[in-house]
Structure formats: C-alpha cells, structure tokens
Amino acid sequence: MTKKFRLTLAQLNPTVGDLAGNTAQARDAWEQAKAAGADMVALPEMFVTGYQTQDLVARPAFVAESMVRIRSLALDCADGPALAIGGPMQEEDRLYNCYFILQGGKISAIMRKHFLPNFNVFDEVRLFKSDAIAGPYTIEDGPRIGSPICEDAWYPDVCETMVESGAEILVVPNGSPYFRDKFAIRMNNMVARVVENDRPLVYLNMVGGQDDQMFDGGSFVLNRGGRLAMQLPVFRSTIAHVDFTLTDQGWEADAGEKATLPDNLEQDYHVMVETLRDYMRKTGFTKVLLGLSGGIDSAIVAAIATDALGPENVRCVMLPSEYTSQGSLDDAAAAAKALGVKYDTVSIAGPRAAVTEALAPLFGDMPADLTEENIQSRIRGLLLMAQSNKFGEMLLTTGNKSEVAVGYATIYGDMAGGYNPIKDMYKTRVFASCRWRNENHRDWMKGPAGEVIPVAIINKPPSAELRPDQKDEDSLPPYDILDGILKMLVDDEASVAECVAAGYDREVVKKIEHLIYISEYKRFQSAPGPRLSNRAFWLDRRYPIVNRWRDSS
C-alpha cells in the first residue's frame, strides 16, 4: 500500500506574552489537524511565547511558564497527530530557542537552534545559546523529519547534517519578519537547501504584526529539484494540509494551493495596514485619531487607519491656523469624506494667542522665528493628545521616512502620537502608494474603494504651513533628490564620496548627512512604526545620539 503522510501547516498569528492565547491557538490547530486525519501539525518558531520576545525571554518566570504550557499541550494533544511548536527552554544557565515535538502525551524530541541571527532586528546571540546540530526525529509510522529553526536553514550546514543523519523531509519553522522583496531571498535560500540535499522542504512562517515588525506568512512547500508544491498567502492566518506520498525517490508533496504574491507597492501598503491593525488589537485599542492637514502624509495615514480599523473607528481633526489655506481646508474635508470617517475642526488661534501672551514678558521684542512656528505644531500635539485622553482614541503620528531621517518635524509637536504607520516610507514612495491605493481595492481593506486620497492632495507641493507661503523645498532639497541621497546614506551606508560619484552635489549631501546625525535625538524619542525596508530606523540602524564624526570623503 502507498505510504502517505499528512502534515498540517498552522500559519498563525501569536501575541507576544499571551502564553494562554497562543497555546489555545495551537490546540485549536491540532483539533483541526486531527479532524482532517493529519499525522502532524506544525506551528512556527517561538509560537508559544510569540516573537520577538526581546528581553522578556530573559525572565526565568516567563520561560518557566512557557515550559508548563508546552507540557500541558503535550498532555492535551496526546491522542492524535504529533504537534510541533517553537518556544524557549532553560537548561542550567543556558537558554535555547527550541522546537518541541509533542507525541503520545510527552515531549518526544527537542531541536535547539544552532545559527542565532544577530543582525538588523535580531539579537539572538545576546539572548540565547547556540547548540550543536541535532539529528532528525521520527513521527510515529511516518517519515524522519529534520527541523532547522529559521536562520538554521539560511546556511547549508544544519540541513546537510540532518539529512546525512537520516532526515527524509525538512520542516523549517520560522519567525521571519517582512522587508520589501524578501520573498525571493527566502525562496532562493530554501531552493538551495532542497537542491543540496535532494529532500522536500516545508517553509512555515508566522503571520502578524509585533511592534515594528510584520511576520508576513507566505509559507510554502518545495519538492525535490526545488519544484513549488504549495504556496500559502501572505499576511493571512491560514491552516493548510499538505499530503506527502512515499515514492521510489522518497517523499513527494502533492500539489496544493498556489497563492499569488503581491507586488512590492501592495506588500508595503498591506504591511502598514496589518501592523496598525495588530498593534491596536494586541494593545487593546479600537479607535484612532489624527490631525488631518490637507497634506499627503496625514491623508495616507487616514487611509491606512481606515483600511485597518474601519471608518467608524477613525476620527480626523483639522486644526487650522491663520496660515492654513482654503485649499488645505477643502482637501482635508474631501479626504475625510472620501474615506467616510468622522471629521472635526478645532482652531488653534485661541491657544496660540494665549501662548504668545504668556511668553511675551520673556520673549519681549525678539523677532518671531522657528519658535513661533513650532508652537503651532506643539499646540496641535497638545489638543490632539487631550482628545486622545478624553475619547480613548490612540493618536497616530504622520512623519514619513524622509522627514524622520532629517528631523523635519517638531519634537513634542507633530511627533506626538503612539504609532506612525509611514515611519519607514520615503516621501517619494508615499506619493506612489497613494496612487496605488486610489487605483486598487482588496478584501482586506475596511475602507471604501476609489479615490480615497483626493488627487489635489497628491499633486500639490508639500508644505508644513507654519508660516506664509512655506514649502518643504524652502528648507529641504526636492524630495526626489533628498530621497536619493537618504537611500544611499541611510539604507546603503554609502560614503559622501559615493553620493557625489552618483551625481549629487557635495554641499547638499553634507547638509543631509549633518541633518541625519543631529536628529538622532528626535528618533530616539519617536513613535514606533512598521518596518518596510531592511534599514528601518530603530533596530536595523542604531546610532549614537552624541556623535561628532562626519565623513570627510
């Protein structure tokens, strides 16, 4: 009789620290696997705790409770398919990132991670110990399986050793966070492992937002030769069953679902929506508010919030001053109407006059300058935070990556807010994302279809409207030049000389370099936001605040 093996892939969304909830999700996946007649159900890396735990995993009580949950899951799931789940384990003074195989009421095998990622957003060498490469485990009446844990499968060694010691299938649990165009990098690595080892491979990733990171799912199954047998969707919790048949050449996966992967404009937009949605749900908020200025940044943030939470949970507030143009008033109202969100107006004229009066004895006849400009931004921050307190709505802040990079925002002013959906998106890409959203609608968007960001907003020159006729380009180079230089200096760590060789003016490059370094203190105090690139501010790029070094090239 043909030998078969059914594996259930649980591409699910854990919450960091919700040990009971994550275990319940695992248990539910196991019930579904059992009902489907599966032999094994696999959950992602560190699923019991959620990922990434950062220093929470250094707390002995947290690890101990996680172990208790794993053991009780083993007992609960004794009678049915094997269950494989990631979690931490303490052995004497050593903490490991593990993959537990639960069968027959017990932990029947434990894989300990060998290659600990310690770059970009990862600090696993700081948190965990590496263990020697383990051999495969056997599923009762089924294949011998090797489980390299995420980073373990990005190099040949672990898979090769597991296969040399008898692994017939590789099942790789992952906690692999999104950055733009990462799919191809993952796929290339996994195809290489399959070809090197002549074994099928199951790549299982988690989904969900955690602070700045989005775990984008997109799990897949490869047959020998690197042939794609199954592709699960990105950004969506999914339970799927894959059937393996034992052939003369070894185990072969039957062809299953082949989800299509979105292009990178859609990926980024979807990440901004999902991370905000998960940040809200996982921190217990349902409603947001934001200042809607009639400019493009607050307009796209309003659209993202509406798509994430629904129009009934988004409130936009126009806070006009004497410098607010009629165009801005019209554009902000039109944007709110197109999205179907609540829209209020609170003038800053009165508070501004009161602040000016309060400071007059100190400021005397000193000329008005940036101080007075920033007071407007700070009054808006204060009025928005007051509404946040009163109505229990979380305030969204709206600075794009270009502004965040050069400090073009007022600290304790428009930087006020709990989450910044566009923190890692350069201004030039904000324009492209707005056009994409106006032309596309998907079932995961809770906002309406159509032109939700009025084209008048996309087409006008950006202005902070903090003084008469102010344009961003008065203080900054045009955004295509600014973003070109920022991409080189921030994302590529290019030298000043390399920027000049690429055609940028040295004086402009030096000015931008200076602005990046002197605004480190602002970023240190800024709200988190979704990571879209592999060089996002915060964990990917950690610079000192006090720093006298400048590139003399």
Ligand X SMILES: Nc1ncnc2c1ncn2[C@@H]1O[C@H](COP(=O)(O)OP(=O)(O)OC[C@H]2O[C@@H]([n+]3cccc(C(=O)O)c3)[C@H](O)[C@@H]2O)[C@@H](O)[C@H]1O
Nearest by Cα to 401 from 485, 331, 314: 485
Residue 454 in the binding site for ligand ATP (CB under 6 A): no
From the list ligand ATP, ligand GLN, ligand X, none, partner contacted by residue 175 (C-beta under 5 to 8 A by kind)? ligand GLN
**Nearer residue to ligand X within complex by CB, 473 or 498:** 473
- The verdict on whether residue 447 carries a ligand-binding annotation is no
How far apart, in whole angstroms, are the C-alpha atoms of residue 176 and residue 267?
15
Residue 374 in the binding site for ligand X (CB under 6 A): yes
What is the footprint of ligand ATP within residues 304-363 (CB under 6 A)? 317-320, 324
Judged by CB under 6 A, which of 45, 212, 331, 414 binds ligand X?
A: 414
| Cα 473 from chain centroid (whole Å) | 30
How far apart, in whole angstroms, are the C-alpha atoms of residue 26 and residue 273?
25
| Residue 254 CA neighbour count, 13 Å, CB half | 12
> Which runs of consecutive H residues, i.e. helices, occur in 392-478?
401-406, 427-439, 455-459, 472-475
Residue 373 in the binding site for ligand X (CB under 6 A): yes
Which residues, listed in sequence order, are joined to residue 94 by a DSSP beta bridge? 91
How far apart, in whole angstroms, are the C-alpha atoms of residue 403 and residue 428?
11
Taking CB under 6 A as the binding criterion, the range among 174-182, 319-327, 335-343, 488-496 that sits at the site for ligand GLN is 174-182
- The verdict on whether residue 398 carries a ligand-binding annotation is yes
- The verdict on whether residue 383 carries a ligand-binding annotation is no
Note whether 426 and 486 are within 8 A (CB): yes
Nearest by Cα to 295 from 263, 322, 270, 320: 320
What is the footprint of ligand X within residues 528-547 (CB under 6 A)? 545
From the list ligand GLN, ligand X, ligand ATP, none, partner contacted by residue 324 (C-beta under 5 to 8 A by kind)? ligand ATP
Instruction: Determine the Cα angle at 160 with ends 158 and 162, to 5°.
Output: 70
Site string for ligand X, 10-39 (x = CB under 6 A): ------------------------------
**Number of residues this chain uses to bind ligand X (CB under 6 A):** 18
**Nearer residue to ligand ATP within complex by CB, 291 or 421:** 291
Amino acid at position 308, single letter: A
Residue 464 in the binding site for ligand X (CB under 6 A): yes
How far apart, in whole angstroms, are the C-alpha atoms of residue 255 and residue 376?
60
Residue 180 is encoded by which pair of tokens? 């733009």
From the list 77, 150, 159, 434, the catalytic residue is: 150
113: annotated active-site residue: yes
Judged by CB under 6 A, which of 152, 403, 483, 513 binds ligand ATP?
A: 403
Torsion sign across C-alpha atoms 319, 323, 327, 328: negative
Which helix (H) or strand (E) is 300 found in, with range? helix 296-309
Torsion sign across C-alpha atoms 140, 146, 148, 154: negative
Which helix (H) or strand (E) is 101 found in, with range? strand 94-103
- The verdict on whether residue 399 carries a ligand-binding annotation is no
Residue 117 in the binding site for ligand GLN (CB under 6 A): yes
What is the footprint of ligand ATP within residues 279-308 (CB under 6 A)? 290-293, 295-298
Residues binding ligand X (CB under 6 A): 370, 373-374, 377, 403, 407-411, 413-414, 464, 466, 472, 475, 521, 545
Q: Which positions touch ligand GLN (CB under 6 A)?
A: 45, 117, 150-151, 154, 174-176
Interacting residue ranges for ligand ATP, rule: CB under 6 A: 290-293, 295-298, 317-320, 324, 380, 398, 403, 414, 462, 464-465
Active site residue ranges = 45, 113, 150
